Amino acid sequence: MRFDGKVVLVTGGSRGIGREIALGFAARGAKVALHYKANHEAARATLKRMEGAGHLLLPADIAEAAAVAGMVDQVVTSMGRLDILVNNAGIYEELLLPDACYAEWQAHFSRVLGANLLGAANASFCAAQHMMKHGGGRIVNISSRGAFRGEPSALAYGASKAGLNSLGQSMAKLLAPHNIFVGTVAPSFVETDMAAERLAQPDGDEIRRQSPVGRVARPEEVAYVAMFLASEGAEFTTGAIVDVNGASYLRS
């Protein structure tokens, strides 16, 4: 896969899966706009590792609609175009229903859906407006196995990822006539900072044993599938949700 001359916006690109996606695109010739929320140090560290030149750092709160619009506008203004959007930014929060009050419940859902679903929806809208005027593009969403199997301790997270799956499939139908193709990657646990604390708990080994491979996914394995869905020749996968879970959860 090569992406020479392509401009790619990766949200949540400073760490974990997003970092590997950004590094992968850069290594294959793309110019990458790397979005991050607040961790400038991590973003700068990722930028230093990226091959090639002409990359861009973009701080923004993905949950704020105006910030998302400004982020996409800055990519187009600074880099001249936007060919590929990867909606990777997201947060994971647990909330046990029996222990929560109603105000905590509302705040929990507002934070998680704002970052994981509304942010992606807004970024997709803004990116698609540009892509429709300039010959098309690709949108790739990073979802989760939790959208299918349920997340009883992180209900908002599971709901947000299920919504992201539906958003991607609906946009695939809507945007295909405009030469914009949409794919979704649904990983299980991945070796990232976000998952490290959970994997270090006593049930960490049990989580690893959920896959017959005996481990969780590596960030580069998720990045590879994201790049495939964004590549030339993968157009007919539009609307697909690709599981990257090591056979830990099989769905029909």
The residues that are catalytic are 157
Within 13 Å and on the Cβ side, how many CA atoms surround 73? 7
Phi/psi class of residue 111: alpha, beta or left (left: φ > 0; alpha: ψ in -120 to 50)?
A: alpha
Q: What's the length of the chain?
A: 252
Q: Taking a C-beta distance cutoff of 8 angstroms, is the pair 171, 182 a contact?
A: yes
Both tokens assigned to 129: 């407006």
* Opening angle at CA 213, ends 208 and 214, nearest 5: 30
Q: How far apart are CA 159 and CA 69, in angstroms?
A: 24
Is residue 149 a contact partner of residue 249, using CB atoms and an 8 Å limit?
A: yes
CA distance linking residue 215 with residue 29, whole number of Å: 31
Written as six digits, the tokens of 22 are: 């950004």
Which structure tokens are listed for 46? 């990722």
Q: Cα–Cα distance between 184 and 164 in angstroms, integer? A: 8
218 vs 168: CA distance, rounded Å = 23
Q: What is the CA angle 23-231-237, rounded to 5? A: 130
Closest by Cα among 156, 119, 109 to 18? 119
